[in-house]
Chains A and B, each alone.
Chain A
Amino acid sequence: MSTAEWLDIGWIDQIPVRGSRTVQVEGGDDIAVFRTAEGKVFALLDRCPHKHGRLSQGIVHGGAVACPLHNWRISLSTGEALGDDKGCTPTVPVKIDGGRVLICRASTLKAAA
């Protein structure tokens, strides 16, 4: 259930394992919500810091996603580019409650603006 703080975006099972789904924010960029092989869920702005590739379309491995455009690896927990690349994608706090995925309302608005 959505509250003033949290947005309810759906069941965790709706996100494929080692995959991602997006949340459309009207008037802003999408939020990409990831689910790792071990069932952790993360949310980032769906935009690579490099050339704005859609991170939601990348290959998820370990705790990172490889951007589909130029294979930058982005940490799912911090949004930082890994390896020699430099850059950061805004993150959005996520929590799971009774199988529902909730993302932070304020961060979503800020990130997507």
Chain B
Amino acid sequence: MEHRPLKAETDTREHLVVIGNGMAGCRAVEELIARDPNRYRVTIFGAEPRVNYNRIMLSPVLAGEKSFDDIVINDAGWYADNGIALIAGDPVAHIDRDTKTVTTRSGLAESYDRLLIATGSDPFIIPVPGKDLPGVIAFRDMDDVDTMLAAADAGGDAVVIGGGLLGLEAAHGLSLRGMKVTVIHLMPTLMERQLDEAAGWLLKNALEARGQTILTGADTAEIIGTGKVEGVKLKDGTLIPASLVVMAVGIRPSVALARDAGLAVGRGIQVDDHMVTSDPAVLAVGECVEHDGQVYGLVAPLWDMCRSLADGLVEQPTGYRGSFTSTKLKVSGIDVFSAGDFSGGDGCEDIVLRDASRGVYKRVIVKGDRIVGAVLYGDTADGNWYFDLLKKQEDVSDLRDLLIFGQAFAAGGGAADPKAAVAALSDDAEICGCNGVTKGQVVSCIAKGAHSLDAVRGTCKASASCGSCTGLVENLLALTLGDDVQSGPKTMCKCTSFGHDDVRREIVAQAMRSIPEVMQKLHWTTPDGCSSCRPALNYYLLCALPGEYVDDQQSRFVNERLHANIQKDGTYSVVPRMWGGLTNPTELRAIADVVEKYNAPMVKVTGGQRLDIFGIKKEDLPAVWADLNAAGMVSGHAYGKALRTVKTCVGSEWCRFGTQDSTGLGVRIERMSWGSWMPHKFKIAVSGCPRNCAEATIKDFGVVCVDSGYELHVGGNGGIHVRATDLLCKVANEQEAMDYCAAFIQLYREEARYLERTAPWIERVGLAHIVARIVDDEPGREALRARFLYSQSFSQDDPWAQRAEGAEAEHHAPMARFIPQGETA
């Protein structure tokens, strides 16, 4: 395709040659023509055999919403009308700066006075085996779209590698075209550059609901197939069939031409504020450039650059100063928006609004009275307003309380005080949408004596469900009572207005399945929680969904993450399990060998009848565990909110006072209950007679054997506040003792708050409650026991064995070693 309206020899103007017929190259020419249509003779070289089209609109073409003609920006007439020569389908292969000439692949040469490089980006192809198979493509130009359309016509399975904007658009289009689409994304959340974790999670749910399969945290190992692509294999061994693989893992500035020509190139072609490269005769613009250390992949900065470039070409004194970027887009019909810096950090405060029923998440990040970033999901109407406030660096302190509700609300003038806004509401205005409670009903409930948030929630139910109206209810309390408002029970942490019991109840009632889901549905005020709520939520979900919930390691305290106890010098102590406090020569030898081999400075007999090896380095832990595993020992969970020890005395087998086989029963109880995660640590003991040598009456669950059976004790504690157990009941045989133990553990697991030992739990709920559930209600007890045993069927894999075999090795090894005057290793 060629348009050659002017002969060079008849035109004495300076010759501007543009390499790149895409969005940046043509836009720069448009800007130039707008300033001075006659200044330069222009020739544009394009690699694709097409006129200038809107690359951003390839997605609607793929989705069938637009045709190619709809997305053409400048048709052939534009080139002709402006006297521009277009050489399309013959890419420039070489730049000779000495002779000021460019040469195309077919050998066509053209000399220039000014050269503009607008080569854009190249898709990044991940270097896995099979990447060159037919059927593996990128998503960058119209040819890729044609390939995808042909594949969709044939039907079948498609895999999109990359869960960024481009990948999701490809997936959406292919899905609409009838293909069964799987998206493979390396990172834990989708579009992690534009969206925070909470918004990414919402997006994933919505896309899955539309029939796509989304695999996050999934690493591609290879693309398989003979002669053509047949599937994708992940590093975890999963095999996904595919007749088409779209790689959309990112783009890289296309700099090869510029680099070969000897221009200064960093991540992109380096340019100054007028987009001039290291050669004054050569300019560059768009995604291929690096300005002030930044490269841009969005269209708005590109427009800014083109304006500055054109100003420079006609000697107007403005320059490019970098761009603030925002992303506002629809993915599968879902509105998302992000702008600025949403990574948080010092002095940054988050204002978060979550409206679970509408599927809305909004987060504005404020620093020193100014907006520095925003993430919106589901409702992006105010995106431009936030972006405007951000760009203008406006002081938002006056708007702050209402900022998150959007422009319409915040600009309400007199309503800037939230208390005044609530006061202005009529009595029949609805406060709580979930429970249909009006302002009048809340006020009357407060007047009748509900003087705290919790009391209001308990009586008229306002804010008791999703909690999004908590602020309104609190303002009503303050308006009605002034300083007489009573603070309610403690909330879980500063991230939520709910207490532990409320959160647990809602997790079960709403069948929540992940930490981000809980945070969204219960309107967390922070983006990713804190060190108090994350471990608690992780436990509650683990308890509610045995065998299904995937433990979040980053929500675990270090001891539970490393399966050992951190000591004050940063080393760890290791306690292997000794069932019922019994050991044997093999175990003792293995422990002695470990102590010598790893130079452990101390070994101590613990209060729980085991041996604690101190001073083990983090890097040595897997090797230590492998040695202990080899002698048949497993993790003692001395580090966990979990079953610790079952302490025993020798019982009837040896002791002249012993009434029952306390050692044997202790071992059996430990075999049943080891590995279970609990709200807090849990200790058990079995004594063979009322002399109680195993100190069973200061344990969480204690058995004291007597001639006629087994006394079961609960809620003892030997810590700061010593508490003797309460006698729960007496049972006749070992099996009953085991069954009651399992039921009691499960009741504690399901009802106690995270980090609440059995002693304060029983004092809080009362022994009568425990007796009613465990002793009086036989079917209930059986059900509790069955739930415990079911949960245990997933939790008795030795975590040490998994680590010793190399699982999560990164927890143990440093990332790099640095020897001063040397180099990283």
Contacts and interface: CB of A to CB of B under 8 A. Distances in A.
B798 to A, nearest CB: 22
A26 B559 CA distance: 26
Nearest to A26: B819
Contacts of A25: 817-818, 820
Given A39-B193, A61-B530, A66-B531, A14 B558 contact: no
Contact of B570 (A2, A16, A54): A54
Contacts of B818: 7, 9, 23-26, 108
Given A22-B814, A26-B817, A38 B343 contact: yes
B301 interface: no
A38 B824 contact: no
Contacts of A21: 810, 814-815
A98 B255 CA distance: 14
B558 A57 contact: yes
A18 B815 CA distance: 16
B817 A16 contact: no
B568 A51 contact: yes
A62 B527 contact: yes
B664 interface: no
A16 B811 CA distance: 9
Interface in A43-79: 51-54, 57-63, 66, 68-69, 71, 73, 75-78
Interface stretch (B7-15, B144-152, B184-192, B415-423): B184-192
Nearest to B250: A99
Contacts of A27: 820
A71 B280 CA distance: 57
A68 B558 contact: yes
B196 interface: yes
Q: Among B186, B526, B528, B562, which residue has the most Cβ atoms of chain A within 10 A?
A: B528
A9 B815 contact: yes
B187 A40 contact: no
B558 A10 contact: no
Contacts of A61: 526, 528-531, 534
Given A51-B568, A68-B566, A77-B345, A33 B527 contact: no
Interface residues of B, number: 45
B345 A76 contact: yes
Interface residues of A, number: 51
B346 interface: yes
A110 to B, nearest CB: 11
A8 B570 CA distance: 25
B22 interface: no
A8 B187 CA distance: 22
A38 B681 CA distance: 33
A14 B818 CA distance: 17
B336 to A, nearest CB: 15
Contacts of A85: none
A23 B570 contact: no
Closest 5 CB pairs of A and B: A66-B531, A21-B815, A57-B558, A63-B345, A18-B554
Interface of A: 2, 7-10, 13-19, 21-27, 30, 33, 36-40, 51-54, 57-63, 66, 68-69, 71, 73, 75-78, 80, 97-98, 108-109
19 contacts: A2-B823, A8-B824, A9-B816, A17-B188, A19-B553, A21-B810, A22-B815, A24-B816, A24-B817, A25-B820, A33-B815, A38-B342, A40-B345, A59-B555, A61-B528, A71-B531, A75-B345, A97-B267, A98-B267
